[in-house]
Copies of this chain bind each other. A is one copy, B any other.
Amino acid sequence: MLVCPGSEAKSQHQAVHDTLDVVSGKWKLIILAVLLVRPYRFKELSRELGVSPRILSKELQEMEGHHLVTRTVCNTRPVSVEYACTAHSRTLLPVVQAMADWGYLHYEAVVGSKRPDDPTPRRHTDRD
């Protein structure tokens, strides 16, 4: 039941709001989910997520500013840049994990028929 660790000074919804402040937008949490698996290069991320370079660049810059990713330039021939999650962004793992779990288990039941590549037959045992 939504407890807060030994403090009433900040309301729960304020805390959620704060977190939302950092991971707002359509992409930050998704980028984080990917980078939590392994580091990626710029284009790799762009391809994997299907996001245009402009957006990706902007998101990564904001996340770097919040110390959620590191940006490492590698001395390769055409120059490649590797992005990786930080110790701090790993503290967001519970959030990402919870979201991934929920997406796996409950998305179809709430939204209804999903994308064609996942024809789950509405196993809907729990009630509303």
CB–CB A2/B103 < 8 A = no
CB–CB B107/A22 < 8 A = yes
Within 8 Å of chain B (Cβ to Cβ): is A122? no
In the complex, what's the smallest C-beta–C-beta distance from A77 to chain B, in angstroms?
29
CB–CB A111/B10 < 8 A = no
CB–CB B107/A18 < 8 A = yes
On whether A94 and B88 interact (CB within 8 A), knowing A68-B110, A107-B19, A118-B10, the answer reads: no
CB–CB B1/A110 < 8 A = no
Complex Cα spacing A106 to B126, Å: 34
Within 8 Å of chain B (Cβ to Cβ): is A81? no
Within 8 Å of chain B (Cβ to Cβ): is A93? yes
For A3-19 the 0/1 string (1 means CB < 8 A from B) is 11101011011111111
Q: Which residues of B contact A14 (CB under 8 A)?
A: 103
Q: What are 11 inter-chain pairs, A to B, with CB distance below 8 A? A: A2-B97, A7-B104, A9-B117, A9-B118, A10-B118, A12-B33, A15-B103, A19-B102, A19-B107, A88-B110, A92-B102
Please give 15 more A-B residue pairs, beta carbons under 8 A apart, in addition to A16-B103, A87-B126, A91-B102.
A2-B93, A3-B97, A5-B101, A5-B104, A7-B104, A10-B104, A12-B37, A15-B99, A15-B104, A15-B107, A21-B111, A22-B110, A67-B110, A92-B102, A95-B102
